[in-house]
Amino acid sequence: MKFASIITGSGAYIPGEICKNDAFNSNTFFDAAGVPIPADTGVIIDKFQSITGISERRYAPAHINTSDMAAAAGWQALTDSAVDPETLDQIVVAHNFGDVTYGTIQSQNVPALANNVKHILGIKRPECIAYDVLVGCPGWLHAMIQSHAWFTAGMARKVLLIGAETLSRVIDASDRDSMIFSDGAGAVVMEYRPATTGNAGILSCCAQTHSIEEADYINMGKSYRQNGDNTLYIKMKGRKVYEYALNHVPLAMKECLDKSGIHISEVHKILIHQANEKMDEEIIKRLYKLYGATPPPDVMPMSIQWLGNSSVATVPTLYHLIRHNKIAGHEIPEGAIILFASVGAGMNINAVCYRA
């Protein structure tokens, strides 16, 4: 009997604290050399929105940590799938900074977030193993690929896959890139089930790492304010990341589709990491150009405009919102082909072709 890796439930934790762009009006932004950017802050913010598409983002409240958001999204996914938590074989949490207590910037990765989630959810079964994945923004997709491999190796049947992050607690307020980042969590339950006549499930995967000159495109560095603070904050070489993504991500997505035997014309939705609206739009244009085609107007749903970039949480959150009819004009009907893709620190790229 043929089996397939199938998503059976989804969930998300979207923080209630909304931070609009005008909240940054009082900021003084500096460049990487520590020199104040001469442009008016309002002009900087307007230009930022025109490029990224972000008009607001979500921040976790002070009493909520990454583990809490991950557990909330995970519980929602379990309820949606009707899976008994005690039958899970794995809990996998993708993140980059662990738990970062409000008012601090120290990453806490001991115990692993997945262990914290298992504790919060009260899952007792010792055979349900818990572990974290740190692969930059593509971490959640990487976890999906890993779980698919565990399934095909006969070592698991039910997994809870979560992406969660509180990036608002590791940003440098003097860096204009700080406006990109946000908090949140998304999750799915994936099961290894007998294949249906519609051939649902993961059809193919692609994973790449470029870590020579690309390794530090996204890194940790001191504040641009250069005030003697030795704290390290998330930093990004924006132009380098942009060029890298445009040159490599469309090719990886095409490789994934080619492995599956699916033509671009059959793709119903492309759920790409919500990193930068213009960058994502250009990636999709270049992907379709590889096939001598142009993208349909509704193929790439977006959430970055109101949720910002929550790293590993963006793709599972977007999937959950569409699956539950929370984004107008978008749905995932049975049998629809979805192409997942993400790019991030490392630099890493992951893509998954999936039939709903």
Each residue's pLDDT tens digit, 95-134: 999 999 998 888 999 999 999 999 999 999 999 999 999 9
pTM for the model: 0.96
DSSP letter assigned to residue 248? H
Residue 166: the pLDDT is: 97
What gap in Å lies between CA 23 and CA 234, rounded to an integer? 20
Burial of 175 (0-12, 13-18, 19+ CB in 10 A): buried
The structural domains of the chain, ordered by start, are 3-194 (3.40.47.10), 201-355 (3.40.47.10)
pLDDT band at 53 (very low <50, low <70, confident <90, very high): very high
Residue whose structure tokens are 């991950």: 70
pLDDT at 170: 95
Overall size of the chain counted in residues: 356
The mean per-residue pLDDT over the stretch 16-28 comes to 95
DSSP state of 156: -
d(CA 145, CA 155): 14
Q: Are 119 and 125 in contact (CB under 8 A)?
A: no
Pick from 117, 186, 188: which is nearest to 158 by CA? 188
The candidate with the shortest Cα–Cα distance to 274, out of 191, 323, 340, 348, is 340
Percentage of the chain modeled with pLDDT above 70: 100
Q: What is the DSSP letter of 195?
A: P
CA 281 to chain centre: 17
pLDDT in tens, 132-143: 999 999 999 999
* Residue 197 pLDDT exceeds 70: no
247-294 tens-digit pLDDT: 999 999 999 999 999 999 999 999 999 999 999 999 999 999 999 999
Both structure tokens of 76: 């929602």
Place 206 in a pLDDT band, splitting at 50, 70 and 90. very high
pLDDT band at 199 (very low <50, low <70, confident <90, very high): confident
What pLDDT digit, counting tens, does each position of 4-14 carry? Answer: 999 999 999 99
Q: Which pLDDT belongs to residue 2?
A: 87
Per DSSP, the three-state class of 163 is strand
CB distance 233 to 225 below 8 Å:
no
Roughly how many angstroms between the first and final C-alpha of the chain, as a whole number? 20
pLDDT at 155: 94
Displacement of CA 232 from its chain's centroid (Å): 22
Report, as an integer, the average pLDDT of 70-81: 98
Between 314-323 and 139-152, two packed helices, what is the crossing angle to 10 degrees? 80
Beta strand 337-344 pairing with 267-272: parallel
Do the strands 158-166 and 90-94 form a parallel or antiparallel pair, or are they unpaired?
parallel
Per-residue exposure over 116-140, b if at least 16 CB sit within 10 Å of its own CB, e if not: bbbeebebeeeebbbebbbbbbbbb
204 forms beta bridges with 353
Determine contact, residues 191/8, Cβ cutoff 8 Å. Answer: yes
Q: Report CA Rg, the chain.
A: 20
- pLDDT tens digit sequence for 149-188: 999 999 999 999 999 999 999 999 999 999 999 999 999 9
Q: Evaluate whether 205 touches 148 at the Cβ level (below 8 Å).
A: yes
